[in-house]
Homo-oligomer: A and B are copies of this chain.
């Protein structure tokens, strides 16, 4: 091996005086190895600073230590948090995540999926149930494990990990009703992209309708959720329906914006207008009045999904649905 060549199995084998095969066994901890041989090999690996070439390994074994991850966005803190959970579960393993961002576009998801599949990943982690037919076909044809995250209100391909957004919405509605709010409004963001926000909305409506109520007014911002959008959209809603006594927001970002609107407009939160969010983000809990909201366990969702996927390399007979649940955070705004 000249000085500028990257060491390979062959170099290690030669230095340790064994066959390549033996070195490979040592590395993968597979098959019986004499203690003495193992030591020589380990030493050789260290001296050479040998790092296995995963591409070669992957090719030879037609499998890899990669987990393909498909996220709709990185702008919404929720997804980086899911990714943290995924990284946490992978930290003690040799697996590496390979992340693609779809921008809530099923067509793009399909493209990225096919380039992820090209690396022969051990598993694919994706978000929600909105896939193209081709995506679904690729996923079922490839024999990799598949986790669909966030949502459990539909039939998964292999395993789904998340919470029932419909139930979360329902619990939100009940919470407000039980506290005496009757003139309830809704402030949301773009539904085309966010099926789960709509499910929560529907859950709220269901709770209301069971009590003979309906949403007094609703306003949807035509774009992704953000604090600023929440702030502006609440202002619009209140201009149209000044008599509402509570507002459900599509998520915490929007709700925090709503809180800021109230501050700026001199509206006394809860007394004059109750606010309710979704997600349980830190920022909402750091407000002068902690936000009333629902905690979705994003980190846990990512972590659980990966743990389940790694349990077995093949799909189980039965599709699995794991409910990571949610909790109402009482807060002080509703």
A residues neighboring B (CB under 8 Å) = 6, 49, 51-56, 58-59, 64, 74-75, 77, 79-81, 83-84, 87, 94, 96-101, 114-120, 138, 142, 226-228, 231, 256-257, 260, 263-264, 282-283, 285-288
Contacts and interface: CB of A to CB of B under 8 A. Distances in A.
23 contacts: A51-B115, A51-B117, A53-B118, A54-B115, A54-B119, A55-B55, A55-B59, A55-B64, A55-B120, A56-B59, A59-B59, A77-B80, A80-B80, A96-B116, A96-B119, A97-B99, A98-B98, A99-B99, A228-B286, A256-B283, A256-B286, A260-B286, A260-B287
A38 to B, nearest CB: 20
B51 A114 contact: yes
Nearest to A88: B101
Q: 8 nearest interchain CB pairs?
A: A227-B286, A55-B58, A264-B288, A80-B80, A54-B118, A74-B80, A55-B59, A263-B288
A84 B101 contact: yes
> Chain A at the B interface: mostly helix, strand, loop or mixed?
helix
Copies in the complex: 2
Given A54-B118, A75-B84, 9 more contacts: A54-B115, A74-B81, A74-B87, A75-B80, A75-B81, A97-B98, A231-B286, A257-B286, A283-B283
A120 B55 CA distance: 8
A42 to B, nearest CB: 15
A264 B259 CA distance: 14
A242 to B, nearest CB: 20
Contacts of A99: 83, 97-99
A101 B231 CA distance: 33
Contact of A260 (B97, B116, B288): B288
Contacts of A100: 96
Contact of A263 (B49, B64, B263): B263
Contacts of A80: 74-75, 77, 79-80
Given A53-B118, A118-B52, A227 B75 contact: no
A169 B175 CA distance: 46
Contacts of A58: 55
Contact of A84 (B51, B74, B98): B74
A256 B286 CA distance: 9
Nearest to A134: B49
A28 to B, nearest CB: 13
A99 B83 CA distance: 10
